Amino acid sequence: MMMARVRSQCGGLLKRSFGSTTPAAAQYDVCILGGGPGGYVAAIKAGQLGLKAVCVEGRGALGGTCLNVGCIPSKSLLESSKHYHHAKEGMAKHGVMIDNVTLDLDKMHQAKTDSIKGLTQGIEGLLKKNKVDYSQGWGKITGPTEVTVSKEDGSTEVISAKHVVCAMGSKVATLPPVPVDNAGFKVVDSTGALDLPEVPKEMVVVGGGVIGLEMGSVWSRLGSKVTVIEFMPHIGGGLDLEISKSFQRILKKQGFKFKMNSKVTSSSVGADGKVTIKYEPSKGGAEKEITADVVLVSTGRVPNTENCGLEDLGIQMNRGMIDVNADFQTNVPSVYAIGDCIDGPMLAHKAEEEGIACVEKIAGLGGHVNYDCIPGVVYTHPEVAVVGKTEEQLKEEGIAYNKGSFPFKANSRARTVLDDDGMVKILADKESDRVLGIHIIGPNAGEMIAEGVLAMEYGASSEDIGRTCHAHPTLSEGFKEAAMATYGKPIHM
């Protein structure tokens, strides 16, 4: 799941390169604007294919939103907070008694920072290894094969490339009734929520999507009373409704409170430092209010495509997203786009796949992305992981299907580790038994979903999965049992 530091510029400049100083108007085969998961992976692939490539990024550190203010720091805090919560409340169930568990939030933040630093520096090494120039600064497309970049010292330089790949990522969507001030740590977005200097006693999360639930989980585990205000009747965005309802029940057991079917109308910070949020039913009605120490605004993301020269070049766009064909090519043939800049889920791994496929297309190879097999994961505890169609989508498309599910409460490994909330659910075509969707809520779901992605990528049936030997005792046996429930009957339920 990805968060961003809002930028009004994108791309980068040739401030330095590996091995030599790059002259003005340097000639490249590929110029990639953006050093996030899509951009740096595309650059590495270009180098591997023998293309002269430059990856341009103005943030000052490679990895984009994901590594700097998104996937990586949030997962660090999720893991650290899980350990703290487990030591405080979970270890006793295993007969391990720990008294006077305390929290060192500064050390937790330092662990997060160390993870970011190590990974971003590692990407620089990968670019160097693959003979890709790393260029630092903000840039703008000023011609079909030209990028004008702004250096840190105020000067400009021109990059010339046969192909330009837009990989500028996305930024946090604003919510006008609730203006964000990350510096004050009262009303924050996903970036500010990563750096809270102390644990708020009460937190309100505006938006029950992936990012809001993950960051809400971090601070809930550390002691916050978390209330989620969600416009829709269910959490998790486009999750399968059965999974969404189960997910919400589990979070409620963990202490989350939910105000569903509600929209926020205003916010204000009082003299006492408390934030007051006013909200009302989504379809209109009586206004209510709630106060908190910190409010996290997590209402989605938008493409980071402003002020990049796209409109000046006549590149077709739709609601900020760049229109591309099956080859990731815009209506200007030399300009391509991938990742959060184009339609589809805003996921780091989706951007990576598109980056590789796009560069392979540029090189004359057969790059391809199977959008039916892009997994999504919510890194709460338990985790939620999905790939393929939901029940609601299959019904809407008129596709007849079989459904099989298996609860972790009937799984021996889950029971022995005392972590048995959730289930595995598999949807398969009624006639062919080909797997169409897999939905997991439970421990290690984010790792387990890889089996489902592989199965779907190669057109497996639920019986193919059910007849594959799984080690015992493992959580993955729940996957096998759900598959058997889809085409026949499970053994252990």
83, 94, 472, 492: which one is catalytic? 472
Mark whether 58 and 139 lie in a shared domain. yes
Mark whether 36 and 146 lie in a shared domain. yes
101 within domain boundaries: no
pLDDT at 25: 59
Mark whether 389 and 295 lie in a shared domain. no
Q: What is the pLDDT of residues 295-312, one digit of tens each?
A: 999 999 999 999 999 999
> Last residue of a domain, which of 369, 402, 423?
369
94 within domain boundaries: no
Q: pTM score, two decimals?
A: 0.93
198 within domain boundaries: yes
Whether residue 275 is predicted with pLDDT greater than 70 in this model: the reply is yes
Mark whether 155 and 50 lie in a shared domain. yes
411 within domain boundaries: yes
The CATH number that applies at residue 255 is: 3.50.50.60
**Residue 381 is among the residues annotated as catalytic for this protein:** no
- Three-state SS for the chain is CCCCCCCCCECCCCCCCCCCCCCCCEEEEEEEECCCHHHHHHHHHHHHCCCCEEEEECCCCCCHHHHHHCHHHHHHHHHHHHHHHHHHHHHHHHCCCCCCCCCCHHHHHHHHHHHHHHHHHHHHHHHHHCCCEEEECEEEEEECCEEEEECCCCCEEEEEEEEEEECCCEEECCCCCCCCCHHHCCEECCCHHHCCCCCCCEEEEECCCHHHHHHHHHHHHCCCEEEEECCCCCCCCCCCHHHHHHHHHHHHHCCCEEECCEEEEEEEECCCCCEEEEEEECCCCCCEEEEECEEEECCCEEECCCCCCCCCCCCCEECCEECCCCCCECCCCCEEECHHHCCCCCCHHHHHHHHHHHHHHHCCCCCCCCHHHCCEEECCCCEEEEEECCHHHHHHCCCCEEEEEEEHHHCHHHHHCCCCCCEEEEEEECCCCEEEEEEEEECCHHHHHHHHHHHHHCCCEHHHHHCCCCCCCCCCHHHHHHHHHHHCCCCCC
Mark whether 49 and 149 lie in a shared domain. yes
Whether residue 5 is predicted with pLDDT greater than 60 in this model: the reply is no
Mark whether 34 and 158 lie in a shared domain. yes
The CATH number that applies at residue 479 is: 3.30.390.30
pLDDT at 24: 52
Mark whether 272 and 131 lie in a shared domain. no
Whether residue 17 is predicted with pLDDT greater than 60 in this model: the reply is no
pLDDT at 313: 95
Average pLDDT taken over every residue of the chain: 93
pLDDT at 317: 97
122 within domain boundaries: yes
Domain total in the chain: 3
Q: What is the pLDDT of residues 145-187, one digit of tens each?
A: 999 878 788 888 889 999 999 999 999 999 999 999 999 999 9
Whether residue 92 is predicted with pLDDT greater than 50 in this model: the reply is yes
Residue with more model confidence, 293 or 5: 293
> Last residue of a domain, which of 335, 369, 403?
369
Tell me the average pLDDT across 228-257: 97
* Residue percentage of the chain with pLDDT more than 70: 95
Model confidence band, residue 212 (pLDDT cutoffs 50, 70, 90):
very high
61 within domain boundaries: yes
81 within domain boundaries: no
Whether residue 469 is predicted with pLDDT greater than 80 in this model: the reply is yes
> Last residue of a domain, which of 353, 369, 385?
369
What domain range is 315 assigned to? Answer: 26-67+110-172+302-369
Mark whether 332 and 320 lie in a shared domain. yes
Tell me the average pLDDT across 72-94: 97
352 within domain boundaries: yes
Mark whether 142 and 193 lie in a shared domain. no
Residue with more model confidence, 135 or 122: 122
Q: What is the pLDDT of residues 261-273, one digit of tens each?
A: 999 999 999 999 9
Mark whether 468 and 410 lie in a shared domain. yes
Mark whether 33 and 166 lie in a shared domain. yes
Mark whether 351 and 306 lie in a shared domain. yes
* Residue percentage of the chain with pLDDT more than 90: 90
